[in-house]
Homo-oligomer: A and B are copies of this chain.
């Protein structure tokens, strides 16, 4: 299935950082056209009034009130909304033949109960949840080709799951290689990951020149990561400790991931394992042995860059993974997923380098 005409795109809730990033990327995509964009609060406002950076690109686009927006004319609708919105509108859109890509959490967690516990709401459509595919091209490409709903992977989870992917698959094929009870992900995220909201704790005078951990009582991304790592490793009792930190950068996630070999003398060639696994993955870049990836090396781009270390040759593996939380961690990965769902070149609209310095 290849599209001759441009894909008609609708976006629900594009006033946050994920939304404006989606708009930025789509202006560079040669095979899409943004037709409808909705916002309850800002209905009637021109997109370029809210985002002057889009002047010269989307000058005629205005936020439409959700109830009046004709989303059913679209080929695909992206949800860049708070949790709970996509699931309430999904069935109608699907019935009208529209595909759905949700950047919130409505279709991430496969277990209904886990969803309810962490997101404090009942799931509106458990059958669609069962049908939805996890939005992560490197692990779900085949399923995404035929999917009607993609529940996009979270920002932290993307860095950790792809950072561990070769190890998890190796464990699946060689059970007992790694200690699956002691995995630790010490992650650091730039401030844009906290969203665009009026919150005193996020203002520059509080955040700049500051750093701290948060969420040690439990973070919603933890069940998502564990779900996927168990799936990839075929191990039901894998566990992981996730400690997120708030980094005074605008963009960027750096996950430092710790995994132990069960046998300290295991001679596995980690560098080769990683390079081979990702040889055909354009957007996952395994750096040369001994590297320390920098968050800025992916700023504004859809790449995830990785390095794998084994300090002093002991039993501990240290994986360093960086991504732009708004691109590979959100809007970029969503467009990559859309490309797959519509049979386009997976790189379409996404093949530009990071902005450095």
Contact = CB atoms under 8 A, between A and B. Distances in A.
Contact of A290 (B217, B256, B285, B322): B217
Interface in A258-303: 258, 260, 282, 285, 287, 290-301, 303
B186 A256 contact: yes
Oligomeric state, in copies: 4
Interface string A235-246: 000010101010
A292 to B, nearest CB: 5
Given A202-B204, A204-B203, A295 B196 contact: no
A199 B198 CA distance: 5
Contacts of A53: 296-299, 301, 353-356
A210 interface: yes
Nearest to A209: B249
Given A200-B198, A208-B204, A296-B210, A56 B249 contact: no
Interface residues of A, number: 87
A216 B292 contact: yes
A254 B196 CA distance: 24
Contacts of A241: 258, 311, 314, 316, 318
A191 B210 CA distance: 12
A285 B254 contact: no
A248 B248 contact: yes
Interface stretch (A20-28, A87-95, A151-159): A20-28
Contact of A249 (B17, B198, B211, B216): B211
Nearest to A356: B53
Given A218-B312, A297-B53, A254 B212 contact: yes
A252 B212 CA distance: 10
15 contacts: A24-B352, A52-B294, A53-B299, A191-B203, A211-B249, A211-B295, A212-B292, A212-B320, A216-B309, A216-B320, A245-B256, A247-B247, A248-B249, A251-B357, A300-B355
